[in-house]
Amino acid sequence: MRAGLRSRRRAEEVAGLGAETVVADVTADADDLVEALAGSEVVISAIGAPDPDQASVDLVDRDGVITAIRAAEKAGVSRFVQLSAQFADSPDQGDRLVRSILMAKQISDSVLQRSSLNWTIVRPGTLTDDQPTGRVKLGGHLEPGHVSRADVAAVLVATLDEPLTENQGFDVIGGEIPIPSALASFS
């Protein structure tokens, strides 16, 4: 397992967590990214801009994710799981304060859907630092809600074991259904 990070400093911080770390800046040379992804079967992308500045959002959430998708195709990756955001599929319905982020994610999500990759797009509600519950609610379009980052991470990984999530996008918020059951009942 490899973890791609945009900076060497961050790579050093997570080096002891059990994954090989690779500096893979989606805003830099696309060929370097292809090399970083070579030999991978799956990419779980949690790419996001470090701040909400429009230029940063466009560079990272839109263009950087598109670069990662194209690099994954060139590297022969078969599966791409994308962390997006609730309302990225309908930015006009989302909070107007984050609409530019939702629009950038909508574009990169659309590129993923049209790619040659087997894809899954996970659109979480508002992220929290709460303890994980292992229980969620998911569906094509859900009411606004909150969900812990840890539960979202568990959903991202669990999609790899659930064929019903292939070539699908869905919202996820905190709920009462255990993650594997929620994914297995998704349709």
Tokens representing 16?
């002891």
What's the whole-number average pLDDT of the chain? 91
pLDDT band at residue 187, thresholds of 50, 70 and 90?
Answer: low
Do residue 129 and residue 113 come from a single domain? Answer: no
pLDDT band at residue 44, thresholds of 50, 70 and 90?
Answer: very high
Do residue 44 and residue 90 come from a single domain? Answer: yes
Residues 106-163 have pLDDT tens digits of 999 999 999 999 999 999 999 999 999 999 999 999 999 999 999 999 999 999 999 9
Q: Mean pLDDT, to the nearest integer, of 12-38?
A: 81
Enter the pTM of the model.
0.92
Do residue 117 and residue 146 come from a single domain? Answer: no
Q: Mean pLDDT, to the nearest integer, of 42-51?
A: 90
pLDDT of residue 133: 98
Could you tell me the CATH number of the domain that includes residue 6? 3.40.50.720
- Distance between CA atoms of residues 95 and 144, nearest Å: 10
In the predicted model, is pLDDT for residue 60 greater than 70?
Answer: yes
Do residue 111 and residue 135 come from a single domain? Answer: no
Q: Mean pLDDT, to the nearest integer, of 83-91?
A: 92
Do residue 18 and residue 72 come from a single domain? Answer: yes
> 63 is in which domain, residue-wise?
1-124
